[in-house]
Amino acid sequence: MCCGTLLPPGMLALGHFATKLKKKGATDMTMNGHRNKAIWIGVAVGAAVGVGVALSRRKRDPWSTAKAAAGRVASRTGDISEATKDIVERIQTIYEEGRKVVEDASELWEHGRKLVRV
């Protein structure tokens, strides 16, 4: 307390320094206000992301999942039939080649038995 004036706490009675401290305090409050806004914006964004993730991963009715799978299969029946046709042709080729190998093996077996008897 100087010269009979009451100053608010934190202010010095040093002339122009008091005004500087007062201005500095005002800017500190403004900076804190901006920080608070940034924190609240971050909290809001985090909450929005959390809600979005929760909604995207919620459990659905089993029948709706089955209907969706059936719809996906039905929309690709042409692709599935072409792939199945290719697979059947390949299996048929493999079967025929395997049958030829078995016939050749049986002929070799018979030839080997004839050689052993002689």
* pLDDT of res. 74: 87
| pLDDT tens by residue, 102-116 | 999 999 999 998 888
Q: In 3-state terms, what secondary structure has residue 59?
A: coil
| pLDDT tens by residue, 46-84 | 999 999 888 888 777 778 888 888 888 888 888 888 999
Q: Do the Cβ atoms of 27 and 38 come closer than 8 Å? A: no
Cβ-proximal residues to 18 (8 Å cutoff; 6+ apart), any chain: 7, 11, 12
